[in-house]
Structure 1
Amino acid sequence: MSAPETILIETRAGVRHVTLNRPETRNAMSLAMVDELLAALKSAESDGVRAIVLKGAGGHFCSGGDVKDMGAAYAGPGPDGQDPAAKVNAQFGHLCKAYAETGLPVIVVLEGAVMGGGFGLACVADVALARETALFRLPETGLGLVPAQIAPFLVERLGYSEARRLAVTGGKIDALGALRLRLVHGVHEGEDAMNTALESVLTDIRKGAPDAIAQTKRLMRRARLHDAGSLIDDAAKVFAAAVRSEEGAEGLSAFIEKRPAKWVQG
């Protein structure tokens, strides 16, 4: 991918770190940022990294969509006759879906403003870690707007009742409140504590076989929407394929030989 303008990308120890980098707007999500985040994920998937970490620059994660930036796109009908507002909104939906469905583990580091679309990104992550400064909010209805693309992910993460309450009231949640709702999986005070927690999570992820993690995530997504009985045969096929795979052979050998598997060493 070409050099991005709204995000920073760094790879350390096999992990792709992506930083939303518009601190002057509290990392409000512009159209360019949406496209660059999609490209960053695609690149991470093709590069074979072990996980992707999302965070924000300047003490904030993301203050939601950049209303000024997107306003220009809403000015009038596009040359293709499509409603530009719908087109822009759908692109953000594709972003959320891509991060929700990737086989890579996705970890978000949340601090300061976590609003609107940033709230949505927090909901699609596999692991969400919050600083004590994190403040979550859904401001859309107060702006006469709708949290359209993030609604399914809010319901999935928070449950129907809590998602509806927050969306209707535009309610604010602090870090401990987010932990009580299981929106986040840990709250850590100070940068050092957060870095330690993040490294602990990444260490645990590295113990898992990459394809096994991807297949597990894929199966769990299906399990949300299907009766357990309807998945028995397909789940058995997934398990059998894993047993016969290179990862399966290596994992069983490592267990018998009482040594770390090769992917742990990598």
Structure 2
Amino acid sequence: MQTIISERQGIAQIVTLNRPQQRNAISLQMVDELLQQLELAEQDPALRALVLRGSGGNFCAGGDIGDMLTAQQSAADGDSDAFYRLNRRFGELLQQFNRTPLVVIAVLDGAVMGGGFGLACTADIAIATGNTKFALPETRLGLPPAQIAPFVVRRVGLSQARRLALSGATVDAQLALAIGLVHQVVDGQDGLEQAVESQLQAIRACAPNALATTKQILLASANLPGDEELSMVLDQGAQAFAAAIQSHEGREGARAFVEKRAAEWQS
């Protein structure tokens, strides 16, 4: 891994975007390495969370200009799909992080812009320092936030997404908290570390399979257009509940409650 740092910490894999000189701009190589790391983490049954953060005082300032220049040259050489492939590959990264069964915690500081903004919107839990700045500057560069937009809309709603994407304006952490972009704002690095550890402690108290199933149900519940789709999700939810309550986790959870002790996954 050349663009990220990955280390195990109990039930969590800590993944750090590590291109500080470029404010952790997301290159194609970083996309590949993040997807590889996510796949490895998903295969580890002992992991329940993935913590995503940036090095050098910034989370991520967006896409890498070097990749765009390379695509521009390819397009000039006759490759009409060069920009499509570049953009869509980043969309694949957002999709995979959005639907992973792991609990994704985004630890935000400094610049959270463009692609970094989109990546933050795929997190289940987003924690920011007070000096974090958020922006979707694509339209100021003559571009649409093509792969980012669906995740922003799902995170903050259509009205706020319109305001952010159609102005390109920078917003601070307190406004990000007010519109639901982040879930917690803390003071400084010490506050950030304490908040992350508090979230991981809470996740440790939750059963691994129950976490994954719950996330699947929540994602399926989003943006349901009518009763037929709602009924389908509720049917699937009932099936998942029936399977869970009869599983080892379900039986252990019931026994631990009756016996007034910690469940095995909490030890």
Normalised by the shorter chain, which TM-score bucket? over 0.9
Q: Aligned equivalents of 1:229 and 1:113: distance in 2?
A: 41
Distance 1:264 1:17, change over 3 A: same
Output the amino acid matched with 1:176. Answer: Q
**Contact preservation (8 Å) 2:109, 2:128:** yes
Give 1:67 shift.
1.5
**Contact preservation (8 Å) 1:78, 1:84:** no
Give 1:81 shift.
5.8
Give 1:74 shift.
3.0
Q: Aligned equivalents of 1:101 and 1:58: distance in 2?
A: 28
Structure 1 partner of 2:23: 26
Structure 2 partner of 1:135: 133
Q: 127-136 vs 66-75, which deviates more?
A: 66-75
Structure 1 partner of 2:236: 234
Unaligned runs of 5+ in 1: none
Residue 145 of structure 1: SS of its match in structure 2? coil
Report matched runs for 1:136-155 at 5 Å. 136-155=134-153
Paired residue total: 262
Output the amino acid matched with 1:73. Answer: A
Q: Aligned equivalents of 1:46 and 1:80: distance in 2?
A: 40
Report matched runs for 1:64-213 at 5 Å. 64-77=62-75, 83-213=81-211
Q: 194-203 vs 232-241, which deviates more?
A: 232-241
**Contact preservation (8 Å) 2:51, 2:106:** yes
Per-residue deviation, residues 91-142 of structure 1 (Å, max 9, x unmatched):
1001000000000000000000000000001111000000111000111011
Identity of aligned residues (%): 50
Residue 76 of structure 1: SS of its match in structure 2? helix
- 1:47 correspondence with 2:44: yes
Q: Aligned equivalents of 2:78 and 2:247: distance in 1?
A: 47
Structure 2 partner of 1:215: 213
Superposition TM-score, scaled by structure 2 size: 0.94
**RMSD of aligned Cα (Å):** 1.5
Per-residue deviation, residues 138-158 of structure 1 (Å, max 9, x unmatched):
110111111000110000001
Unaligned runs of 5+ in 2: none
**Contact preservation (8 Å) 2:11, 2:204:** no
Superposition TM-score, scaled by structure 1 size: 0.95
Per-residue deviation, residues 49-91 of structure 1 (Å, max 9, x unmatched):
1200000000000000011233212322599966011001111
Q: Aligned equivalents of 1:59 and 1:160: distance in 2?
A: 30
Q: Aligned equivalents of 1:230 and 1:47: distance in 2?
A: 30
